[in-house]
């Protein structure tokens, strides 16, 4: 079978050029006589990969020197606990904004470690919009505010101009599904975390970008491995890091840099998203699951046909046409196209063409 357009929410498509480069280097990496997978994480060859990946991320995201970049494991889900354990230490309080499933999971975990409140929520409308942050206020004496910047399941995102105004209070963001997709100013955040498997590389790596001022003594009994300081002190080499995933992430970051960086990527992502949203909006057969147009995600686009039977039929016929993994999340139903950085515009065009044909055949 030829390669297909894979609209999976994650793990997701990787740039084909990256896969090909990895294949070339798979067995014998740059004349070392071994695969990156077989290399000691203490070797100089691996150390170069580790350093280059950090440097590239710092350059692409314009990360100031007073932020540490950590390469951890356990997925974004482990950060749901690690954030409160390490940051909820001065006042034992934090405010969360609930805009979807992952935000709720982060909140549910944080509740176990302190006094946690919901500052704003869009649950009243099944998470189809992002509350206007200009109207949101926070409690006094909180350690941080938490958001999920892109809601993978519901298909909404915090525009960079609609971030919570937290003043001196650190803003923490789960950026798993839109890191590197458009320009956010890292200075607006105290901590950013993201699982790699949506927009950075294969599964297995969690990137944490943390203001060094927030690397402090965690709550008592916090496991060593769940302490940011452990990893920061050892440049994320306290124990064996996910070396091969870090190597793959380096290749993806090089690909992104060659393409012109995040600004250039954002332009392409906007074009891709416009192509799909414009088609959905002009159609009276399909409808978008997200009503607030300004809050629509550029990465995850949930939409519906007139009924569940047609949704199922759509998924089946699309796959036959080389368009894979379009079934919507069970919370929203319908269909979902995840069009992360690695999805070429040709893939989105192919999807729109298929949607047009499907509509004509089934209306
Ligand atoms: C996928 C996802 C997660 C879960 O990530 P894991 O790496 O599987 O723990 C958390 N938050 C968001 C926004 C996601 O998209």
Nearest CA to ligand 1 atom 5: 76
Give this prediction's pTM: 0.98
Atom 12 of ligand 1, nearest CA residue: 176
pLDDT at residue 203 is higher than 80: yes
H/E run at residue 62: none
**pLDDT of 269:** 98
Task: Please list every protein residue whose CB sits less than 6 Å from any atom of ligand 1.
Answer: 10, 75-77, 102, 148, 152, 174, 176-177, 195, 198
The CA 243 to ligand 1 mean position distance, Å, reads 20
pLDDT of residue 291: 82
pLDDT of 288-297, one tens digit each?
999 899 999 9
Residue 100 alpha carbon, nearest atom of ligand 1: 13
Active-site amino acid positions: 102, 174, 198
- Residue 347 confidence class, pLDDT cut points 50, 70, 90: very high
Report residue 142's pLDDT band, with 50, 70 and 90 as the boundaries: very high
> Using 50, 70 and 90 to split pLDDT, how confident is the model at 363?
confident
What pLDDT digit, counting tens, does each position of 47-94 carry? Answer: 999 999 999 999 999 999 999 999 999 999 999 999 999 999 999 999
Give the contacts of 212 (CB within 8 A, at least 6 positions apart): 66, 67, 68, 232
Beta bridge pairs of residue 98: 121
Q: Which atom of ligand 1 is nearest to the CA of 78?
A: 9
Least confident of 40-44, 272-276, 279-283, 289-293: 289-293
Calculate what percentage of the chain has a pLDDT beyond 90: 99
pLDDT at 338 over 80: yes
Cα 143 to middle of ligand 1, angstroms: 23
Report how far residue 133's alpha carbon sits from residue 159's, in angstroms, rounded to the nearest whole number. 10
Mutate-to-test residue for ligand 1 from 102, 106, 158, 245, highest number of ligand atoms within 8 A of CB: 102
For residues 148-162, give the mean pLDDT: 97
Task: Tell me how far the alpha carbon of residue 175 lies from the centroid of ligand 1, in angstroms.
Answer: 9
Q: What is the mean pLDDT of residues 103-124?
A: 98
**Sequence-ordered list of residues with C-beta below 8 angstroms from that of 134, at least 6 positions apart, any chain:** 162, 165
Average pLDDT over residues 264-274: 98
Residue 1 pLDDT > 80: no
For the segment 124-143, the average pLDDT, to the nearest whole number, is 97
Confidence of residue 233 (pLDDT cuts 50, 70, 90): very high
Over residues 3-27, the pLDDT tens digits come to 999 999 999 999 999 999 999 999 9
* 143 within 8 A of 93, measured Cβ to Cβ: yes
- What's the CA-to-centroid distance between 102 and ligand 1, angstroms? 7
Report, in this order, helix, strand and coil percent for the chain, each rounded to 5: 40, 15, 40
pLDDT, position 134: 96
Residue 214 has pLDDT above 90, yes or no: yes
Amino acid 103: pLDDT: 98
Substitution site in 157, 195, 332 for ligand 1 pocket (most atoms within 8 Å of beta carbon): 195
């Amino acid at each position: 079978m030829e390669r297909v357009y894979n609209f999976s929410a994650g793990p997701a498509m990787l740039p084909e050029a990256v896969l090909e480069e990895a294949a070339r280097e798979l067995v014998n990496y740059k004349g070392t006589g071994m695969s990156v997978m077989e290399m000691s994480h203490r070797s100089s060859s691996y150390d170069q990969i580790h350093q280059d990946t950090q440097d590239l991320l710092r350059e692409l995201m314009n990360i100031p020197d007073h932020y540490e970049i950590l390469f951890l494991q356990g997925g974004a889900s482990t950060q749901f606990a690690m954030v409160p354990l390490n940051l909820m230490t001065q006042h034992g309080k934090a405010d969360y904004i609930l805009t979807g499933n992952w935000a709720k999971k982060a909140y549910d975990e944080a509740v176990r470690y302190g006094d946690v409140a919901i500052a704003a929520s869009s649950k009243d409308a099944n998470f189809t919009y992002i509350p206007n942050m200009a109207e949101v206020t926070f409690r006094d004496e909180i350690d941080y505010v938490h958001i999920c910047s892109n809601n993978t399941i519901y298909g909404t995102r915090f525009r960079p101009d609609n971030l919570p105004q937290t003043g001196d209070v650190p803003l923490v963001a789960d950026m798993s599904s839109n890191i590197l997709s458009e320009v956010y100013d890292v200075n607006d955040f105290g901590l950013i975390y993201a699982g790699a498997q949506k927009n950075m590389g294969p599964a297995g790596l969690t990137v944490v970008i943390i203001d060094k001022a927030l690397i402090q003594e965690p709550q008592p009994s916090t496991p060593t491995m769940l302490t940011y300081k452990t990893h920061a002190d050892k440049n994320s080499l306290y124990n064996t890091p996910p070396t091969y995933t870090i190597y793959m992430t380096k290749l993806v970051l090089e690909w992104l840099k060659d393409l012109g960086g995040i600004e250039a990527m954002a332009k392409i992502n906007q074009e891709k998203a416009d192509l799909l949203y414009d088609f959905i909006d002009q159609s009276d057969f399909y409808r978008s699951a997200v009503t607030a147009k300004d809050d629509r995600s550029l990465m995850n686009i949930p939409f519906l046909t007139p009924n569940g039977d047609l949704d199922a039929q759509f998924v089946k016929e699309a796959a036959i046409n080389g368009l894979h993994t379009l079934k919507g999340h069970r919370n929203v139903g319908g269909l979902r196209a995840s069009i992360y950085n690695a999805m070429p515009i040709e893939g989105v065009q192919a999807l729109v063409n298929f949607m047009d044909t499907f509509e004509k055949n089934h209306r």
